[in-house]
């Protein structure tokens, strides 16, 4: 069982992704934006993060930049409706392990989580 942080400003997305992850047998913690997520990552241990891109206070890019600046090595899957190739490339350059377009299916989320945790 892994401990997974889900960061998204959408309550519906947090609930949906939390349900997927719990059904896969993992523990879930949620945050409403990148700033809250960063605070949690700095004080708690997580095995993986699912993060949205477009959020208030700190977006997903800011979250990834902060992890990189602070030297925090943590697998991150970006889950976003913004599927532009330039955004995807930026996320991968900043250390994201993978990128999923919204709406993400349970199968896609589960497959990526399994692949990343097995690596």
Query: How many structural domains comprise the chain?
Result: 1
The pTM of this model reads: 0.95
Per-residue model confidence as pLDDT tens digits over 5-29: 999 999 999 999 999 999 999 999 9
What domain range is 105 assigned to? 3-118
Cβ contact 5:27 at 8 Å: no
Report DSSP state, residue 112: H
Provide the percentage of residues in the chain whose pLDDT is more than 70: 100
pLDDT for 102 beyond 90? no
Domain CATH number, residue 90? 3.40.50.2300
Q: Exposure pattern of 70-100 as b/e (b: 16+ CB <10 Å)?
A: eeeeebbbbbbebeeeebbebbeebebbbbb
Task: Calculate the alpha carbon distances from 27 to 1, 4, 24, 55 in Å.
Answer: 7, 6, 9, 23
């Amino acid at each position: 069982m892994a401990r997974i942080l889900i960061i998204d400003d959408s309550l519906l997305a947090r609930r949906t992704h939390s349900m997927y992850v719990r059904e896969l047998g993992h523990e879930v913690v949620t945050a409403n934006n990148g700033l809250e997520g960063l605070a949690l990552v700095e004080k708690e241990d997580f095995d993986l993060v699912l993060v949205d891109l477009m959020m208030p206070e700190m977006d997903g890019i800011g979250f990834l930049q902060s992890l990189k600046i602070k030297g925090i090595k943590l697998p991150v899957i970006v889950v976003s409706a913004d599927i532009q190739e330039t955004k995807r490339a930026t996320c991968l350059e900043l250390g994201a392990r993978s990128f999923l377009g919204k709406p993400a299916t349970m199968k896609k989320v589960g497959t990526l989580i399994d692949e990343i945790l097995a690596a």
